[in-house]
Structure 1
Amino acid sequence: MRRKLPSTQTLACFEAAARHRSLTRAAQELALTQGAVSRQLGQLEEFLGVKLFRRAQHGIALTPAGEDYARNVSLRLDAMERDALDLMGRQGQGESVTLAAVPTFATRWLIPRLAQLAREQPDLNVHIAARTRPFLFADNEFDGAIYAGTPQQLAQWAGTHATLLLQEEVAPVCSPALLKGRRPVAPRTLASLPLLQQSTRPDAWRDWFDAQGIDAPKAMAGPRYELFSMQVAAATCGMGVALLPTLLIQAELAATALMPACEGGAITRRAYYLVQPEQPERAAMTAFKAWLIEQVRS
């Protein structure tokens, strides 16, 4: 049965016009005339039997149906482009895995180890995109995700199963300059120091102070950063005390760019997991998963 699909040229015109909200800018991007883009959009609306655009004071605007369709078309075109680039890069040889990963773990733990994988399995390519929060696998072209969370958070990620990789130990650290050359202070003293916050973990400091049995009214105050790498940079510059996974800051601790802010105080709340959708596993993903688990064990 013949598929009921618009042409990729038509979809490219629609995606560009929806993104720019302008036929002129879409035409410039695609190296077409404005009339050609307009005809493609008219043909698409006729094909679908749905109005996708309406006239606006400055250019065009999407209808509610157009908004929904544009979001889905953009995802599909991005996936098709990635597939084409992957195939072109591999010249039809080997296989690939596409992962979502929390950025700092990817850059500081996973990527340095991928050189070994390249030597052992040169035909297996690993593509990595940054994601800090759970997402729907159905809306993305990922084979898996490396995610830091609690068992309760993993249980809420619908349609997935998870493999435990590493426990995460977090501890307060800071630049030696922040303590003015003093030794690590008592945990209670941290409540009076500037605290660096993680926007994806807004309760991290409050949980830490609760674990120490310390009342800290300003536990959630301070500048917020989305990535651990941003916190590392801010802490190294002496801007405050950061609550960081010790696994990811070994280089800074060894170079004394960062130091433990207090004696003890390390707690474990989360772990790193390999999360996969509930669907048959591709052979390339099976090979990568086996290698990843071996890296964790070693």
Structure 2
Amino acid sequence: MISEVDGDFESLKYESRMPSLLALRCFESAGRFENFARAADELHLTPGAISRAVRLLEEDLGVDLFERRKRRVFLTDAGRRLLKAVSEGLGVMNHAVREIRSEARRTRRLVLSCEPTLLMRWLIPRWGDFQAQHRGPDIHLVAGGGLFSFEQGIDLAIRRDDFPRPPGYHAERLFAEKVGPVCRPDKVGQWFDERGKCLRATAPLLQTTSRPTAWQEWAAATGQPVPATQMQSFEHFYFSIQAAVAGLGVAMGPWHLVRDDIQSGVLVAPSGFVEDGSHYCLLSPIPPKLGSLETDLLEWLRAVGC
């Protein structure tokens, strides 16, 4: 026989039991958008999974959280109350997690992801200077381009701002991207006009599959036409620049990638360089704090990028 006290205790345990965090996370996203499909995209789930999670949550609470009308959903009064509470709770947890991760980074080495050719041709040759100035926690350099996630063990990333980044990622502008045609000095007379400024129609052009519109962007920025010739294509700028060094043609050279070769005389840029409208940025999960290693790195990158 169950006593009245036992019954009250079981009732109290039921009332205080929290729904699963996954269900609440699915509900929060669906409630914020009032759209199950958009919530599914944000959480990398299927709309069906979002719908099932919300339905189970509604059954658990014994109340409808959404009003479903003609393939659209709208929060009920109960749904709006719960959304406010869950959003605030997730916000508090997210803030705490970021603070803890930030504190942990101070005692371990940071992981900096950088676009491969920029890493090889610009950052690594200058990295010894940064290490000499900052003999504290180490920074581990890794090559990577395009989309990434700070959930993959990356603390900071250097990227061009030519792709959409997830909301919430903090970006600090480093320097503008400047581009120009480059070739070996002994090929200028053959591939450029008498003034050494405009490309001849017979000049062999080199392009990269990672940025196939680089020549067109340069042409739009300078008002100069691109010779109507078939281009030899390489996978990355590193290879097309090396092909230019080998005398195979004229490559579109981003300034920071060819800077050392220009200064050493291995390559020349007869037409000079022009900003193409894009910028390199240092991306981080939160804004760098004053006096932190991240801030020191940001200031150093801007200084050497000028």
| CA distance 1:241–1:291, change in 2 (3 Å) | same
Q: What is the TM-score of this pair, normalised by structure 1? A: 0.57
Q: How far apart, CA to CA, are the structure 2 residues paired with 1:187 and 1:290?
A: 41
| CA distance 1:147–1:233, change in 2 (3 Å) | same
Seq. identity, %: 28
How far is the alpha carbon of 1:171 from its aligned partner? 0.9
Residues 172 and 266 of structure 1 are in contact (CA less than 8 Å); yes or no, is this contact kept in structure 2?
A: no
Residues 163 and 275 of structure 1 are in contact (CA less than 8 Å); yes or no, is this contact kept in structure 2?
A: yes
Residues 221 and 274 of structure 2 are in contact (CA less than 8 Å); yes or no, is this contact kept in structure 1?
A: no
Report what 1:37 is aligned to. Answer: none
Unaligned runs of 5+ in 1: 1-92
Q: How far apart, CA to CA, are the structure 2 residues paired with 1:131 and 1:199?
A: 16
1:63-106 CA-to-partner distances (Å, cap 9, x unmatched) read: xxxxxxxxxxxxxxxxxxxxxxxxxxxxxx95201011012222
How far is the alpha carbon of 1:111 from its aligned partner? 2.4
How far is the alpha carbon of 1:281 from its aligned partner? 6.6
Residues 179 and 218 of structure 2 are in contact (CA less than 8 Å); yes or no, is this contact kept in structure 1?
A: no
How far is the alpha carbon of 1:232 from its aligned partner? 1.8
Of 132, 142, 147, 1:134 maps to 147
What are the equivalent positions in structure 2 for 1:163-174 lying under 5 Å apart?
A: 163-174=172-183
Q: How far apart, CA to CA, are the structure 1 residues paired with 2:250 and 2:115?
A: 22
2:209 is the counterpart of 1:209: no
| CA distance 1:216–1:281, change in 2 (3 Å) | closer
Report what 1:121 is aligned to. Answer: 134
Residues 101 and 129 of structure 1 are in contact (CA less than 8 Å); yes or no, is this contact kept in structure 2?
A: yes
2:109 is the counterpart of 1:96: yes
Q: How far apart, CA to CA, are the structure 2 residues paired with 1:201 and 1:282?
A: 34
Match of 2:219, as an amino acid?
Answer: F
Report what 2:295 is aligned to. Answer: 289
| CA distance 1:115–1:134, change in 2 (3 Å) | same
1:237-289 CA-to-partner distances (Å, cap 9, x unmatched) read: 111111112233233223322112x3346333221110123x587999x4133
4+ runs deviating over 6 angstroms: 280-284
Match of 2:132, as an amino acid?
Answer: R
Report what 1:4 is aligned to. Answer: none
Unaligned runs of 5+ in 2: 1-105
| CA distance 1:292–1:114, change in 2 (3 Å) | farther
Residues 212 and 265 of structure 1 are in contact (CA less than 8 Å); yes or no, is this contact kept in structure 2?
A: no
Residues 177 and 254 of structure 2 are in contact (CA less than 8 Å); yes or no, is this contact kept in structure 1?
A: yes
2:270 is the counterpart of 1:270: no
Report what 1:106 is aligned to. Answer: 119
C-alpha RMSD of matched pairs (Å): 3.0
SS in 1 for 2:252: strand
Report what 1:199 is aligned to. Answer: 209
2:195 is the counterpart of 1:179: no
SS in 2 for 1:249: helix
| CA distance 1:94–1:117, change in 2 (3 Å) | farther
Name which one, 1 or 2, has greater alpha-carbon Rg: 2
Report what 2:158 is aligned to. Answer: 146
Match of 2:204, as an amino acid?
Answer: P
Residues 132 and 147 of structure 1 are in contact (CA less than 8 Å); yes or no, is this contact kept in structure 2?
A: yes
Residues 112 and 155 of structure 2 are in contact (CA less than 8 Å); yes or no, is this contact kept in structure 1?
A: yes
Residues 110 and 140 of structure 2 are in contact (CA less than 8 Å); yes or no, is this contact kept in structure 1?
A: yes
Count of aligned pairs: 196
Q: How far apart, CA to CA, are the structure 2 residues paired with 1:258 and 1:171?
A: 12
Residues 198 and 231 of structure 1 are in contact (CA less than 8 Å); yes or no, is this contact kept in structure 2?
A: yes
Q: What is the TM-score of this pair, normalised by structure 2? A: 0.55
Residues 187 and 265 of structure 1 are in contact (CA less than 8 Å); yes or no, is this contact kept in structure 2?
A: no
